Amino acid sequence: MRARAISAVHLLLLLSLSHSPPCTMAGKILVWPADFSHWFNINVIIEELVARGHNVTVVTHSATSSVKTEQSQGYNVEIIQVPYTKQDVFNTLDTMFKYWVNEVPNDNLIQGFLKIKEIIDQTTYKNQVLCRELFAREDLLEKWRKERFDVVLTDPMYMCRSLLPLKLNLPFIVSLRFSFGNSMERLCGQLPTPASYVPAVSLGYKHRMDFLQRVKNVLFNFFQDFLFIFLNALKWDPFYTEVMGKPTTLCETMGKADIWLIRTYWDFEFPRPLLPNFKFVGGLHCKPAKPLPKEMEDFVQSSGDDGIVVFSLGFMIKNITKERANTIASALGQIPQKVLWRYTGEKPETLAPNTRVYDWIPQNDLLGHPKTKAFITHGGTNGIYEAIYHGVPMVGLPLFADQPDNVNHMKTKGAAVMLDFNKMNTEDLKQALNDVINNPSYKESIMRLSRIHHDQPMKPLDQAVYWIEYVMRHKGAKHLRVEAHNLTWYQYHCLDVAAFLLSVIALVVFIFVKTCKWLFRKCCRKTAAKSKKE
Ligand SMILES: *[C@@H]1O[C@H](CO)[C@@H](O)[C@H](O)[C@H]1NC(C)=O
Ligand SMILES: *[C@@H]1O[C@H](CO)[C@@H](O)[C@H](O)[C@H]1NC(C)=O
């Protein structure tokens, strides 16, 4: 009787538990995002956090053109005044494109290196100005300390972000695709990256590498680590030390991150070892398609059975050279599909009637449209994930940053054709589109990736939010941080242990040899003496 009563109480308890919302307190979150496509990605997380009742404060600067600062967004905004304008930021970007897309590919190694160095110097300079402005605001830091945030969410694309949680003594979460070709994750996050089967970012290798590729992989990692360490030692470690008032490095500070939210997943990555505090949430911004605007839908429907091709080089590429635009437009004119091209530059003369140019396209809705046959993309992570989500094969025209690596992943997985934007001719592009649309292997490959993407225990966005709330519930996630953070390099590789064991073996061998020699000598002497006697 009693047992039954207890089990009834249990049942009631269980029922009431399963009906109450999961036990999450509304928390306070401080977000310091980066701009442009990085903002787009983190904004999706912010919206979800706001929808779940969390109190979110976003830190931005007066020259941002990404972060919406109206009250209606549902989050609080703190704007840091910087002595440069939106236009300055765009000018830096324009220089970057001019160099990276149009000039560096034709430069020799030295010229190219100097131009890339100039771009890095310019962005680092702007970034440090912003950091200086923020950390000079003692009043603001004091206010934030009083407001008692639970966690800081930030994007380490701009390097000084990890100082903020340290100054406020808060746990923090970083969101990134990769930083410095994995060097930050490897060196600061302690993410194991065996060079034998984890190809370096931007080499374009598969996880199965032959001997020479492994040699290059090891050397490339060394080279990238060297640059990363050198750049930090030169530009960031002194800044970190200055702000903290004691010797501090960027890498040790990044290493304190509680959770790393990486913007990829196994639909994209090759299998590799992970750490408990690395969570892969690629494609968290992807959503089912919404209906298209009427005019656009009519155009799409007019394509009949041939379907459409969606083309975008991202919102940052506003203009390309006349010659490139004409090459592209005449290739597009030679395919039976209709093409929707997002492009704000001058209309190319060779534009054919099957191609329409738009200032802006609802990319996700177009990629999710049943008539879409292919996606021509610069290979930004966001666009690649929309294509994976909706299962659309790609022609990649990567330009810079993570784009070549992204497209390479899709190419090695059989879901994309990659072309060199600067060198391709009309025939190349036409051929690539024909292949991707008419050779079923591309569609099959991207559908396979799409199935992998959708078959997860938790949607990527839910997972990202789960881990943020997890850090708030546990006041950090230091219990997921490996001890490797506290080891020296020779301890990490057990070189001290190896040295010790080798010494022991050497000692044993030494004693053994010595003993043998001694015994042998003794024996010899005895037999010698014996034979003498006889
Ligand atoms: C959210 O946090 C801000 C800053 O701490 C505070 O001023 C505001 O009252 C909070 N809003 C709610 C709804 O708790
Ligand atoms: C695009 O660049 C060309 C030069 O390559 C220039 O003549 C044209 O004005 C630019 N158009 C826009 C809209 O920026």
DSSP letters of 484-518?
GGGS-HHHHTTHHHHHHHHHHHHHHHHHHHHHHHH
Quick check: pTM over 0.95? no
Q: Which residues of 447-483 are buried (b: 16+ CB within 10 A; e: fewer)?
A: bebbeebeebeeebbebbbbbbbbbbeeebbeebbee
325 and 434 housed in the same domain: yes
202 and 261 housed in the same domain: yes
pLDDT at 7: 55
Most ligand 2 atoms within 8 A of CB, residue of 346, 347, 349, 357 to mutate? 346
Pick the ligand that lies closest to the CA of residue 71: 1
CA of 149 relative to ligand 1 center, distance in Å: 10
252 and 265 housed in the same domain: yes
239 and 326 housed in the same domain: no
Q: Do residues 345 and 329 touch, judged by C-beta distance below 8 A?
A: no
- DSSP, collapsed to helix, strand or coil, labels residue 287 as coil
368 and 242 housed in the same domain: no
Residues in a beta bridge with 416: 394
Residues in a beta bridge with 342: 312, 358
Give the contacts of 386 (CB within 8 A, at least 6 positions apart).
283, 285, 286, 363, 364, 367
CA distance 291 to 339: 18
Residue 447 lies in a domain: yes
Low-confidence ranges of the chain (pLDDT < 70): 1-24, 532-534
User: Mean pLDDT over all residues of the chain?
Assistant: 92
CA of 122 relative to ligand 2 center, distance in Å: 24
CA of 52 relative to ligand 1 center, distance in Å: 15
- Residue 466 one-letter amino acid: Y
CA of 344 relative to ligand 2 center, distance in Å: 10
Tokens representing 524 are: 């010899």
Pick the ligand that lies closest to the CA of residue 321: 2
376 and 503 housed in the same domain: no
Residue 105 lies in a domain: no
Domain boundary (454, 471, 497) is at 454
Residue 98 lies in a domain: no
Domain boundary (435, 454, 473) is at 454
Most ligand 1 atoms within 8 A of CB, residue of 31, 50, 55, 148 to mutate? 55
62 and 146 housed in the same domain: yes
Q: Do residues 33 and 43 touch, judged by C-beta distance below 8 A?
A: yes
CA distance 284 to 463: 9
pLDDT at 11: 52
450 and 463 housed in the same domain: no
Nearest CA to ligand 1 atom 5: 147
pLDDT at 1: 46
pLDDT at 9: 52
| 141: Cα separation from own chain's centroid | 29
Domain boundary (403, 437, 454) is at 454
H-helix or E-strand spanning residue 356: strand 355-358
pLDDT at 19: 47
- Residue 98 one-letter amino acid: K
508 and 406 housed in the same domain: no
Residue 127 lies in a domain: yes
CA distance 310 to 296: 12
- The CATH code of the domain that includes 472 is 3.40.50.2000
Nearest CA to ligand 2 atom 13: 345
Q: Do residues 48 and 463 touch, judged by C-beta distance below 8 A?
A: no
Most ligand 2 atoms within 8 A of CB, residue of 91, 319, 347, 359 to mutate? 319
Residue 287 lies in a domain: no
Residue 102 lies in a domain: no
Question: Per-residue pLDDT tens for 326-352?
Answer: 999 999 999 999 999 999 989 999 999
Residues in a beta bridge with 503: none
Q: Do residues 326 and 424 touch, judged by C-beta distance below 8 A?
A: no
Residue 12 lies in a domain: no
pLDDT at 4: 52
Any ligand 1 atom below 6 A from CB of 55: yes
447 and 463 housed in the same domain: no
Candidates 405, 361, 404; CA nearest to 386 is 361
Q: How many domains does the chain have?
A: 3
78 and 227 housed in the same domain: yes
Nearest CA to ligand 1 atom 13: 55
- DSSP, collapsed to helix, strand or coil, labels residue 431 as helix
CA distance 520 to 525: 8
Which residue segment(s) compose the domain that 497 sits in? 487-516
Residue 404 lies in a domain: yes
Report the atom number in ligand 1 closest to the C-alpha of 147: 5
180 and 133 housed in the same domain: yes
